[in-house]
Copies of this chain bind each other. A is one copy, B any other.
């Protein structure tokens, strides 16, 4: 009723050309297909704002695409989330067979190194950030995260280090690393956020090893 029709091709929001765009001789890898742009934009947006605040419209804007196209390709917003996270996290999830091999006395260091190799790489960090940012308010994300821990850590490590309380042990080790992720990558608390990864690996490996494989508790300080 009070909505004035915007003058076409004059406002700051250029009205896009409708219909399927001409291919114009691109070899299909010139500008990435819209579908992939959407997936990337989704991953980045979810990582930056979490599930709820990452609107379909914001994703579409970032992908330079109409919001309807997002739905056209992926259906509901939840499916967009699953697709984006699944695509980006797949290589990470497939990776850590490192844990099941090698000297069990060094499994703590291997797990700590695996953690940082994933988190220090922006490409693999983003889907994890997206998950963590979403985990705390959204059920689906929480389920994904639990499955990640169970499938990729608990089962792999448990078969290597059988012990009655191994699940608790693994989760305490994971808790140490998740906490570091929270403080370093989500909260960006200093000085943790700027510390050298190698330094943190040195400090954390014995703790993770202690959690996983037990042994005598760390000694008190020499005082």
- B203 lies within 8 A of A172 (CB): yes
What secondary structure prevails in chain A residues at the interface with B?
A: helix
- B218 lies within 8 A of A207 (CB): yes
Interface residues of A in 58-104 (CB under 8 A from B): 104
Interface window among A7-15, A20-28, A34-42, A177-185: A177-185
In the docked arrangement, what's the CA distance between A145 and B172, Å?
22
- B204 lies within 8 A of A213 (CB): no
Interface residues of A in 178-220 (CB under 8 A from B): 178-180, 182-184, 186-187, 189-192, 195, 200, 203-207, 209-211, 213-220
Whether A211 touches B207, Cβ cut-off 8 Å, given contacts A52-B52, A136-B133, is yes
A127 at the interface (CB under 8 A from B): no
CB distance from A217 to the nearest CB of B (A): 3
A146 at the interface (CB under 8 A from B): yes
- B216 lies within 8 A of A186 (CB): no
- 5 A/B residue pairs, CB under 8 Å, sorted by A: A52-B52, A104-B223, A105-B220, A167-B191, A174-B179
